[in-house]
């Protein structure tokens, strides 16, 4: 029961984390880099602090990947192969919409920069 609650809490917390630190680049790598640069400027980080935070963010990525893999493996035990295929398709569509929004945002920013 506690694992279910922890998994649910993480699943709900991830989108909040993404919105708290909006990135300018595609995917997590761009997001993490933007977050580190923003923190560096806002907090006046030393090179040593910046390097340590970079390592923390790398560890965070590994942990998130492990959680996603474990969650998927557990879901495969619950859902049928057809349901998993449909879930994968929904995830793909959601990602395509996200990419489209990112591209629109990028184009809008480029248009505002040219003015």
Q: What is the mean pLDDT of residues 52-73?
A: 94
User: Domain coordinates of the chain in residue numbers?
Assistant: 1-78, 81-115
Beta carbons of 31 and 21 less than 8 angstroms apart: yes
This prediction's pTM: 0.54
pLDDT reading at 70 higher than 50 = yes
Q: Of 17-26, 42-51, 102-111, which gets the smallest average pLDDT?
A: 17-26
Q: What mean pLDDT, rounded, does the chain reach?
A: 81
Q: What is the mean pLDDT of residues 11-38?
A: 57
């Amino acid at each position: 029961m506690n694992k279910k609650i922890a998994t649910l809490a993480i699943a709900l917390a991830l989108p909040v984390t993404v919105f708290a630190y909006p990135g300018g680049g595609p995917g997590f790598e761009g997001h993490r880099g933007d977050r580190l640069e923003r923190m560096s400027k806002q907090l006046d980080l030393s090179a040593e602090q910046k390097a340590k935070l970079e390592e923390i963010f790398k560890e965070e990525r590994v942990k998130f990947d492990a959680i996603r893999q474990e969650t998927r493996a557990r879901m495969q035990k619950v859902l049928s192969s057809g349901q998993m295929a449909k879930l994968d398709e929904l995830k793909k569509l959601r990602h395509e919409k996200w990419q489209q929004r990112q591209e629109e945002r990028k184009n809008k920013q480029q248009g505002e920069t040219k003015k």
